[in-house]
Structure 1
Amino acid sequence: MPYCPECGAEVYASAEICPSCGTRLKKPHTELPRNAHGDLVTGEKSEVLAVILGFFIIGAGLMYAGRVGLGIFHLVLSILLFWTILVPLALWIYGMLKGYELCKENNMLWLQYLEENR
């Protein structure tokens, strides 16, 4: 059986509060974090993978990063305006950079959540 770190009394492993001194033994888990767009952050995402996906398919990096609608919009717009060359090129570059940025933000929020719930 574990012991209370404050008073040293023996406590049940499932106890959240020490019955002897009232010290909280376990931190209550906080709600999963949300990013700036209101989406739940549920784990780490690879920034490199977002860039690689975005390199091969316009909008795929955005979709991987959680912005599926925006990624599909970029893909469809690039297909419709392929003849302009500049619009697909701008969307291609923007998609890779934004996918990287979104994954980085996601990972920062996830690491903060893990630190708070140790």
Structure 2
Amino acid sequence: MAKRVERVSLTLPHDLVADLDAVVDEREYSSRSKAVRDALRAFLTEHDWEQNAAETQRGSIALVYDHEATGINDRLLEIQHDVAGVIVATQHVHFDAHRCLETVIVEGPGEEIRDLVSTLSSLDGMKHVQFTPV
């Protein structure tokens, strides 16, 4: 049985529609509706994360950092050991001679994950930190 769908009308500025159409073409979406559904799911997942921070959350934290920054590797290991109950797995990749990508899979109280993201973001040498809830 097919899922029930509802038609919704949106009023958007021309430049936003043009950007949407470019993404639809680039990603080969079958329609604008499919692209908007994907965007809304991402928006609602983020909203759910913000509203339910005390509950168990899951996601990944992507880190890009300069591994030559003084003490960053030791500090990362220390932080990861301190919150081992929230970290499910990590993966480390060398981008080039200076930059590393680390992916940290997390599951636990949203507040602890939020604190972890904040702590990681504040490290000297950290270039990028992004949490993606799932």
Q: TM-score, normalised by structure 1?
A: 0.25
Q: TM-score, normalised by structure 2?
A: 0.22
Which has the larger strand fraction?
A: 2
Larger RCO of the pair (alpha carbons < 8 Å, separation 6+): 2
Structure of greater Rg = 1
Which has the larger helix fraction?
A: 1
